[in-house]
Chain A
Amino acid sequence: MSTALSTPVLVAAFALLLIVAVLSVRWLAAVDERNVFGRLGTPLLFGAWVLVFWEASMRAFDVPRVLLPAPSLIAQSLANGIGVLAGDFAQTVLHSALIGLVAGCTLGFVTGVLIDRSPFLQRGLLPLAALASTVPLVGIAPIMVMWFGFDWHSKAAVVVVMTFFPMLVNTLAGLAESGHMERDLMRSYGAGYWRTLVALRIPVALPFIFNALKINSTLAMIGAIVAEFFGSPVAGLGFRISTEAARLNMGLVWAAIVVAAVAGSLLYGLLGWVERRATFWHPSIRTTAGAVQNATGR
């Protein structure tokens, strides 16, 4: 496109653009200190500048599309392939990841509540759960594909195994969080085990449980996508990425990545939003709201 321009002109233009970018980001960061645009302004501007530089350098230096397509090309493939990608989204995110996430987290939570009454089982299972965190559990994907077939069931099974242990460990830690004072108070009210569990111990455990949910949401996306590399029906984000990468159709590959990224971020953001609603009383949530953040910022 701009091959007619000579190299010194290009370099000068880029330098100028870079100075403008740095100055504008610095300016917005300084303004943002007073919370004029909310906390999102600066990162968004930074991201926009990255896109501008990406697009500009792809055009100026004629980088082959195979290496890295320009953002405009990715947007174009995204628009053209929206039907295909919607099917992939339903397969990978709505079926494999979400169903697996819900099942794995429920299983981990219920196991945690049940084990909580038995110190013996806790001492037996916690070392194994710690062990499981150092083990690359994604590796069970080929086995699950063999057992449950190519469709989403096998991917959901991988996600269940990957998300079980973080949930178990965090549930146990959370249930141990309520102090003796509070428990004694509940007993003096005549509350039984279940009443104490529901009214005191699970609410106190919520920050831990949300922590596990947020960790697990990224694990679920990873598990669902990687399991598709081991065989899948003709839909799914991981399937799309690996087949289109083999055909060097990089526009669609990056479009699929954008879909996966947006889905992962949305899931994480949604959980964060629910967490702020559900654990509004917790100190870590309370401080982010007000001036404390600014006071302790540095």
Chain B
Amino acid sequence: MAATEVPGKRGSGLGAAWHRVAPVLTVLAVVLVAWHAAAVWLNAPQVIERTLSSQPGWSALDLVRLTLSMDRPVLPAPHQIALDLFDSVFGWPLDSPRNLLFHAAVTSSATLLGFAMGTALGALLAVAIVHSRTLERSLFPWVIASQTVPVLAIAPIVIVILGSMGMTGTFPKAIISMYLCFFPVAVALVKGLRSPGVLELELLHTYAASKTNTFWMLRVPASLPFLFPALRVGIAAGLVGAIVGELPTGAQAGLGARLLTGSYYGNTVQIWSALVMSALLGLVLTGCVALVERGVTPGGRR
């Protein structure tokens, strides 16, 4: 693993893999050690106050053992979170509200619906902006300005408004996801649809291609390398939107609701396992987009 990186030249398969994985593992190990140390340090005052002060002569070993297995720790140890996660996923039926996979499914359905709507809206806006000079001048600056606005601030109102119109459940959350998704898609598509150069456009012109033909055969394929990174950003943002959308209603289901109830009842382990689950969900969702990307753009322009 001491080999320096030479572009274009790779070591043997195993060595190269080790070269890539070893630093990550090292950093992870350091994080784990630091986490345990922090857990001991942060939980120690409570442990000493509650249990150890009543039994004189306690040793450092007792302290470590107790701080890493507290019921409601300030910072739970990683194995406590893993246990809680494992318990909730495998210990309960899939449709039980105690199963985190159930909450993940609720959140991801809102995310996916919002992602689909946001992508459609972003694509519509982009096509309109690319084809109309007026819209580009008047609308596009507002699309960009909409991103500097903390859009999540409107989440509670969207929920309240749609709730008063009798819409509850997945749809209002999906609206918030949509709001976060459409921007990266719109901006990237405007860039991508414009990316064909004069040479390519004129070539199609000499083929007597119509505007529609040019759009589907040149502009759309050319925009794909711009579109997919935006989709990955968009679906991650959409997940944030869905989770935040679950906060203000006091929704009973969803990862955001788990975070909220956990913070109401001071159940730290529950917060952390909901957090880990949402992280995993984020990875799975972006991974799916990456898989589609690999299938749609063969040869992988990356």
Interface residues of B in 231-257 (CB under 8 A from A): 232, 236, 239-240, 243-244, 247-248, 255
Residue numbers in B under 8 Å from A245 (CB-CB):
156-157, 160, 248
Residue of A147, A229, A257 with most chain B CB atoms under a 10 A cut-off: A229
The answer to whether A290 has its CB under 8 Å from any CB of chain B is no
B263 near A142 with CB under 8 A, answer: yes
Interface residues of B in 11-59 (CB under 8 A from A): 19-20, 23-28
Once the chains are docked, how many angstroms separate the CA of A139 from the CA of B272? 9
Interface range on chain A (Cβ under 8 Å from partner): 35 or more
Residue of B147, B262, B285 with most chain A CB atoms under a 10 A cut-off: B147
Main secondary structure on chain B at its contact with chain A? helix
Residue numbers in A under 8 Å from B244 (CB-CB):
138, 226, 229
Question: C-beta contact mask, A9-50 vs B, less than 8 Å → 1, else 0?
Answer: 000000000000000011011101100000110110111000
Contact of B156 (CB < 8 Å), options: A28, A32, A241? A241
A268 near B148 with CB under 8 A, answer: yes
Question: How many residue-residue contacts, CB under 8 A, span A and B?
Answer: 168
The answer to whether A221 has its CB under 8 Å from any CB of chain B is yes
The answer to whether B292 has its CB under 8 Å from any CB of chain A is no
Given contacts A42-B137, A135-B283, A139-B274, contact A218 B150 (CB under 8 A): yes
Q: Determine, out of A73-81, A117-125, A183-191, the stretch whose residues face the partner at the interface.
A: A117-125
The answer to whether B100 has its CB under 8 Å from any CB of chain A is no
Question: C-beta contact mask, A140-154 vs B, less than 8 Å → 1, else 0?
Answer: 111101110000000
User: Number of B interface residues, CB 8 Å?
Assistant: 57
B145 near A145 with CB under 8 A, answer: no
Main secondary structure on chain A at its contact with chain B? helix
Given contacts A120-B23, A124-B26, A248-B160, contact A134 B236 (CB under 8 A): yes
Q: How far is the CB of A210 from chain B (nearest CB, A)?
A: 14
The answer to whether A238 has its CB under 8 Å from any CB of chain B is yes
Once the chains are docked, how many angstroms separate the CA of A123 from the CA of B271? 30
Once the chains are docked, how many angstroms separate the CA of A67 from the CA of B259? 28
Interface residues of A in 246-267 (CB under 8 A from B): 246, 248, 250, 253-254, 256-257, 260-261, 264-265, 267
Residue numbers in B under 8 Å from A123 (CB-CB):
19-20, 23-24
Residue numbers in B under 8 Å from A45 (CB-CB):
138
A136 near B161 with CB under 8 A, answer: no
Residue numbers in B under 8 Å from A225 (CB-CB):
150, 152-153
Contact of A43 (CB < 8 Å), options: B137, B147, B150? B137
Question: C-beta contact mask, B147-191 vs A, less than 8 Å → 1, else 0?
Answer: 111111110110011001100000000000000000000000000
The answer to whether A278 has its CB under 8 Å from any CB of chain B is no
A125 near B150 with CB under 8 A, answer: no
The answer to whether B217 has its CB under 8 Å from any CB of chain A is no
Q: How far is the CB of A122 from chain B (nearest CB, A)?
A: 8
Given contacts A124-B24, A226-B152, contact A241 B138 (CB under 8 A): no
Question: C-beta contact mask, A210-224 vs B, less than 8 Å → 1, else 0?
Answer: 000000011001100
The answer to whether B68 has its CB under 8 Å from any CB of chain A is no
Once the chains are docked, how many angstroms separate the CA of A231 from the CA of B263? 9
Q: How far is the CB of A33 from chain B (nearest CB, A)?
A: 8
Once the chains are docked, how many angstroms separate the CA of A5 from the CA of B288? 54
Given contacts A43-B142, A123-B20, A146-B266, contact A139 B278 (CB under 8 A): yes
User: CB-nearest residue of chain A relative to B156?
Assistant: A245
User: CB-nearest residue of chain A relative to B29?
Assistant: A124
Q: How far is the CB of A226 from chain B (nearest CB, A)?
A: 5
B153 near A237 with CB under 8 A, answer: yes
B147 near A218 with CB under 8 A, answer: yes
B259 near A142 with CB under 8 A, answer: yes
Residue numbers in B under 8 Å from A47 (CB-CB):
142
A146 near B164 with CB under 8 A, answer: no
Q: Known pairs A25-B138, A242-B248. 5 more at Cβ < 8 A?
A: A124-B24, A124-B27, A140-B275, A265-B145, A265-B149
Interfacial residues, chain B to chain A (CB-CB below 8 A): 5, 19-20, 23-28, 74, 133-134, 137-139, 141-142, 145, 147-154, 156-157, 160-161, 164-165, 232, 236, 239-240, 243-244, 247-248, 255, 259-260, 262-263, 266, 268, 271-272, 274-275, 278-279, 282-283, 285-286
Q: What are 27 A-B residue pairs whose CB atoms fall within 8 Å in the complex?
A: A28-B137, A30-B134, A32-B137, A33-B133, A42-B138, A43-B139, A66-B161, A66-B164, A119-B5, A123-B24, A124-B24, A124-B25, A125-B27, A131-B283, A134-B232, A134-B279, A134-B285, A136-B236, A139-B278, A142-B263, A146-B271, A147-B74, A218-B150, A229-B156, A238-B153, A264-B150, A268-B148
Q: Nearest 3 A-B pairs (CB), nearest first?
A: A124-B23, A142-B263, A124-B27
